[in-house]
Amino acid sequence: METTERVRLLVEPLIAEADATLYDLEYSGGVLRITVDREGGADIGTIGTLTRKISHLLDEEDPMPGHYTLEVSSPGLERTLRTPEHFVGAVGSLVSIKTRPGVDGDRRVKGTLVSADDASATIAPTDAAPGTTRVLALADISRARTVFEWGAAPKPGSGSKPGAAPTSAPSAKKKAAKS
């Protein structure tokens, strides 16, 4: 059994106890990354508690050879999409995708993820005509993530100060009445 599968079997019950779900698990370069999610988002308290419990469990069970660094985190606003389940869960979201070299079309695609299944993802690119979609095999995607777009910040001096009464220019009737 692969290292990540052994760890997955150990940590999933702990994560479920915290009313959370295992979003992703990755072991690379001596770093074990466990990403957890929860309805409404995983807060720092949940992450801290799970980090302590998972660390203690891994020390007891010793499922991995050698030294490693444990990282427990939430997926955040811009989530990495690596598995078919990630893509399916992100349907309707704005995504940024980079394809592998040699795939037909632009290597970088940004748009709304229209649909996804075990083998492919369909994107409506933001820079294409309405109704245009691009289907990509998941195997042809080298990197993908959801994109969070911040709203435009108000221009300096364009808004009123907090607590100030709204201002408006005097109407033509008021001007005429004062004359």
| pLDDT tens for each residue of the chain, 179 residues long | 688 899 999 999 999 999 999 999 999 989 999 999 998 889 999 999 999 999 999 999 988 878 999 999 999 889 999 999 999 999 999 999 999 999 999 999 999 999 999 999 999 999 989 999 999 999 999 999 999 988 776 677 655 555 544 444 444 444 444 44
Does residue 144 contact residue 96 with C-beta atoms inside 8 Å? Answer: yes
DSSP annotation of 105? S
As beta bridge partners, residue 69 has: 31
Integer Cα distance of 55 and 31 in angstroms:
13
> What is the number of other CB atoms lying within 10 angstroms of the CB of residue 42?
24
Q: What are 120-165's pLDDT values in tens digits?
A: 999 999 998 999 999 999 999 999 999 998 877 667 765 555 554 4
C-alpha torsion sign, points 65, 67, 69, 70: positive
Q: How many CB atoms lie within 10 A of CB 109?
A: 22
Six token digits for residue 140: 């042809």
